[in-house]
Amino acid sequence: MKDASPATAPKTFYLKDYTPFGYDAESVHLTFRLAPETTRVISRIRFTPKPDAADRTFFLHGEELKLISAKIDCQAVTPELVEGGLKCEVPGAPFTWEAEVEINPADNTALEGLYMSNHMYCTQCEAEGFRKITYYPDRPDVMSTFTVRIEGDEPVMLSNGNPMGQGEGWAEWHDPWPKPAYLFALVAGDLVNHPGSFTTKSGKEVELNIWVRPGDEHKCAFGMEALKKSMKWDEDVYGLEYDLDLFNIVAVDDFNMGAMENKGLNIFNSSCVLASPETSTDANFERIEAIIAHEYFHNWTGNRITCRDWFQLCLKEGLTVFRDAQFTADMRSEPVKRIEDVIALRARQFPEDNGPLAHPPRPEQFQEINNFYTATVYEKGAEVIGMLKRLVGDENYYKALKLYFERHDGQACTIEDWLKVFEDATGRGLSQFKLWYSQAGTPRLKVSEDYADGTYTLTFEQSTPPTPGQPDKAPRVIPVAVGLLSPNGDEVRGTEVLELTEARQSFTYQGLASKPVPSILREFSAPVILERESTNAERAFLLAHDTDPFNRWEAGNALAKEVRVAMVLDGAAPDAAYLDALEKLVRDDAQDPAFRALVLTPPSQSDIAQTLFDRGHTPDPQKIYDAAETFTQTLAQQLETSLPRLYAATTVDGPYAPDAEGAGKRALNGRILSLLTRLDGGEQAARQYQAADNMTQQYAALGALLKAENGEAQSQAFFGQWQDDRLVMDKWFALQIACAAPEKTAATAAALTRHPLFSMKNPNRFRAVFGALAGHHAGFHHASGEGYQLLADNLIALDKLNPQTTARMCAAFQTWKRYDAGRQSLIRAQLTRIAGTDGLSRDTTEMVTRILDA
């Protein structure tokens, strides 16, 4: 059994306890003598005591290190090894610390610190991985310049900054920009580069490289173009230039997250950079472009200006997500990007914010910071910035950002610093707005209306349900973008941003000829849940007439939900008026295909479950699944005569190009194919599979066939064609689970874990299988409990190898309180079993405890 005595209980860190380190680290010299099991790291660091330090304890973090020797000013010292690091007596004047440690990269399956992926050395130091490389004040507010010497026989040996020299068996690097240790990186291995270059607006030539394993060279061109576009965009929109002579990106196969913004040496999960038409879908291309931009944008928002401590993580992440979303909107389609982001927010952030894992964008405590790389910190963090921009206006926003870069370049900052910049630049007080950073939970916005004699009044009431540790919450500032339509569909009031600051507030419009139809929360102007009595007729009206594309989609989405809820609760037939509205829209060639594809995409079954739960019902996953199936089948039948024409009309001719226009058409084409397959059993899908010359169409066809339980031959062919491509194999693993019927989902996943290509050690493969299982709502929550058990078995096994990925995947259980007593007790049993596992990691312990404490 787990020992839960206080002595071994994980330590909790609090924002309120922040104290600066008592020493400045002026320069860091590191020498790496690479060997898979016995790498030596020799550090030489110049420390200066801070004159005004309250605490002069010389504590260096260090974990899983074998200390070989330590010296201060060339004299051997014997530091006191303590939990999580070492302490040492040091002089009161500037001194040089030297240490030699030994580490074992080959044995590092946690993928934090220095580890090996496919015989290649690489690092991951955010958040606290550097302490597994050497003893160091591993905290983001200690910034220093790094000089690095790498000794080994790897053909390519890279680190941050600019190259200083290289010879047989060694390479030296120097990064002139002071940085925290979490931005340190080293890569060494047999790599080949796809080169490029970029000239900054001030005329500096920057060498660009994407480094990959031999054989992957042909998958780099798209990423390179995305990088150049990002560099140009940041100059054009934010006036920010790149600041080194070299920018390297490296692709690694074993990586816990998407990518990492190490200074001048970004390290990417290969799935987030490698792309080719034959192996990547349109969605992959879009994601790769966004992640390359995201990591590049961190060079200013994260690296040049970093975080004072990890509680401030959303300072860099929220802002950088906001910036990458702006970039994607500019490169592709603004409304489509917004709709996609809101779908993702509702799928990932809302469940977090409305369950046991709810936390504010700036949390005030944590046990394991890796558990706070969440949708709340990232995506809600970005929403908060979007609201701020909406409230102060575009001009003020860019004025504030300019001041932020001028004032804080080279510093480690807080949310207070960030908001102060806006206050100073705009003259506007932001103390109430700051609640968005400190309060958890999704606000509910109840809307009522009144119309008499040409005067229309909208009344809003805001409230936020209790979240862990926060029973009551004060009202927030909520920007609500509203437009009004007349009953004939004309817009009688253009978009106006109403600023809510009170618990209850009314806004009046005068001089209206008739009662208008309101379009509320246009562009999803705040991350809230709108509660307003409406009718399906009104929703259909907005779907047809709203001038705001987001709200047009939103009306369709609300309709889709209402129809499914009625089907689940009352066994109602699919609403005929909705089917007609959908048919009209799908056939309307004047509408953007990407938009039509989004309207045709059903709301997620998990979302329906949450809606039912919010309305006081206990969701039955099987019934929700059945309703979705019936709906889609009925829609297919209704569209029967137009489907072949629509399929032909949306088939993109000519060679594949991953642009937004083609992607939109293919997305619609894919939805049409899935409807068509319900009628023809897979004839068209089999033809498409056969003819496809790109992964988007091949994958869509295979998915349609597997869903129709008629894709065995194609699945085998797919395996035969792609078994040597890891990234495509991840798709193959995931798709079989995603397309399985609920009663077969867990068994399908279990069988795939026995496949020779399944690996616990590769996070992408683990996520392909278990992400797909957890994402199959009716399959994962099948009444047998097999899905729960299978996931728990595998999380327990994975925890020994990779706590970080294990802990993140525990979130699959976070919605457990929505379901019936039977499912709750099955889930509780699994969570308790995980919690009771001997030697469970701090990461997983924290997650499981928080989920169980709900």
The residue ranges that bind ligand 0A1 (CB under 6 A) are: 124, 126-127, 256-261, 294-295, 317, 370, 373, 804
- The distance of closest approach from Cβ of residue 532 to ligand 0A1 in the complex, given in angstroms and rounded to an integer, is 35
| Cβ distance to Zn ion smaller for residue 261 or 799 | 261
- The distance of closest approach from Cβ of residue 319 to ligand 0A1 in the complex, given in angstroms and rounded to an integer, is 11
| Cβ distance to ligand 0A1 smaller for residue 183 or 812 | 183
| Residues in touch with Zn ion (CB under 5 A) | 317, 320
| Cβ distance to ligand 0A1 smaller for residue 186 or 445 | 186
| Cβ distance to ligand 0A1 smaller for residue 378 or 722 | 378
Q: Which does 256 bind (CB under 5 to 8 A by kind): Zn ion, ligand 0A1, none?
A: ligand 0A1
DSSP secondary structure code for residue 347 in this structure: I
| Cβ distance to ligand 0A1 smaller for residue 124 or 145 | 124
Burial 483-517, CB ≥16 within 10 A → b, else e: bbbbeeeebbbebebbebeeeebeeebeebeeebb
- The distance of closest approach from Cβ of residue 321 to ligand 0A1 in the complex, given in angstroms and rounded to an integer, is 8
Is the Cα torsion angle 631, 634, 638, 642 positive or negative in sign?
positive
816 contacts: CB under 8 Å, gap ≥ 6? 823, 824, 827, 828, 831, 851, 854
Query: How far, in Å, are 194, 608, 683 from residue 510 at the CA level?
Result: 62, 38, 58
Judge whether 133 and 110 are in contact, CB under 8 Å: no
Task: Identify the CA nearest to 436 among candidates 475, 393, 481.
Answer: 475
| Cβ distance to Zn ion smaller for residue 159 or 320 | 320
Which H helix or E strand runs over 595?
A: helix 593-600
Residue with the closest Cβ to ligand 0A1? 257
Q: Which does 260 bind (CB under 5 to 8 A by kind): ligand 0A1, Zn ion, none?
A: ligand 0A1
DSSP secondary structure code for residue 682 in this structure: T
- The distance of closest approach from Cβ of residue 268 to ligand 0A1 in the complex, given in angstroms and rounded to an integer, is 9
Question: CB-based burial of residue 567 (10 Å sphere; 0-12 exposed, 13-18 middle, 19+ buried)?
Answer: buried
- The distance of closest approach from Cβ of residue 529 to ligand 0A1 in the complex, given in angstroms and rounded to an integer, is 27
Distance linking the first and last C-alpha atoms of the chain: 22
Q: Which does 373 bind (CB under 5 to 8 A by kind): ligand 0A1, Zn ion, none?
A: ligand 0A1
- The distance of closest approach from Cβ of residue 173 to ligand 0A1 in the complex, given in angstroms and rounded to an integer, is 21
375 contacts: CB under 8 Å, gap ≥ 6? 345, 348, 349, 352
| Cβ distance to Zn ion smaller for residue 320 or 845 | 320
The alpha carbons of the chain give a radius of gyration, in whole angstroms, of 27
Q: Which does 126 bind (CB under 5 to 8 A by kind): Zn ion, ligand 0A1, none?
A: ligand 0A1
DSSP 755-801: STT--SS-HHHHHHHHHHHHH-HHHHT-TT-HHHHHHHHHHHHHHHH
From the list 295, 368, 383, 846, the catalytic residue is 295
- The distance of closest approach from Cβ of residue 378 to Zn ion in the complex, given in angstroms and rounded to an integer, is 7
- The distance of closest approach from Cβ of residue 105 to Zn ion in the complex, given in angstroms and rounded to an integer, is 25
Single-letter residue type at 541: F
Task: Identify the CA nearest to 717 among candidates 705, 696, 745, 727.
Answer: 705
- The distance of closest approach from Cβ of residue 109 to ligand 0A1 in the complex, given in angstroms and rounded to an integer, is 14
| Cβ distance to ligand 0A1 smaller for residue 84 or 681 | 84
| Cβ distance to Zn ion smaller for residue 303 or 805 | 303
Is the Cα torsion angle 234, 235, 239, 244 positive or negative in sign?
positive
Which H helix or E strand runs over 663?
A: helix 660-680
Q: Which does 144 bind (CB under 5 to 8 A by kind): Zn ion, ligand 0A1, none?
A: none
Query: Which segments within 162-202 are labelled E, that is strand?
Result: 162-167, 170-179, 186-189, 192-199
Q: Is there a catalytic annotation at residue 295?
A: yes
| Cβ distance to ligand 0A1 smaller for residue 321 or 500 | 321
854 contacts: CB under 8 Å, gap ≥ 6? 355, 356, 468, 816, 817
Our CA angle for 102, 103, 109, nearest 5°, is 170
Q: How far apart are CA 755 and CA 748, in angstroms?
A: 11
Question: CB-based burial of residue 54 (10 Å sphere; 0-12 exposed, 13-18 middle, 19+ buried)?
Answer: exposed
| Cβ distance to ligand 0A1 smaller for residue 126 or 309 | 126
Tokens 């787990």 correspond to: 2
Q: How far apart are CA 384 and CA 322, in angstroms?
A: 9
Q: Which does 477 bind (CB under 5 to 8 A by kind): Zn ion, ligand 0A1, none?
A: none
Which H helix or E strand runs over 42?
A: strand 39-49
- The distance of closest approach from Cβ of residue 527 to ligand 0A1 in the complex, given in angstroms and rounded to an integer, is 19
Q: Which does 725 bind (CB under 5 to 8 A by kind): Zn ion, ligand 0A1, none?
A: none
Which H helix or E strand runs over 324?
A: helix 313-331
- The distance of closest approach from Cβ of residue 263 to ligand 0A1 in the complex, given in angstroms and rounded to an integer, is 12
- The distance of closest approach from Cβ of residue 7 to ligand 0A1 in the complex, given in angstroms and rounded to an integer, is 27
Judge whether 61 and 131 are in contact, CB under 8 Å: yes
3-class state of residue 739 by DSSP: coil
Count of Cβ atoms closer than 10 Å to residue 79 Cβ = 21
Strand order in the sheet with 120-124: 113-117, 120-124, 186-189, 156-159
Tokens 């992440």 correspond to: 317
Is the Cα torsion angle 697, 700, 706, 709 positive or negative in sign?
negative
| Cβ distance to Zn ion smaller for residue 320 or 802 | 320
Task: Identify the CA nearest to 362 among candidates 351, 374, 352, 346.
Answer: 374
Q: Which does 650 bind (CB under 5 to 8 A by kind): Zn ion, ligand 0A1, none?
A: none
| Cβ distance to Zn ion smaller for residue 116 or 384 | 384
Q: How far apart are CA 324 and CA 293, in angstroms?
A: 6
- The distance of closest approach from Cβ of residue 527 to Zn ion in the complex, given in angstroms and rounded to an integer, is 19
Q: Which residues are catalytic?
A: 295
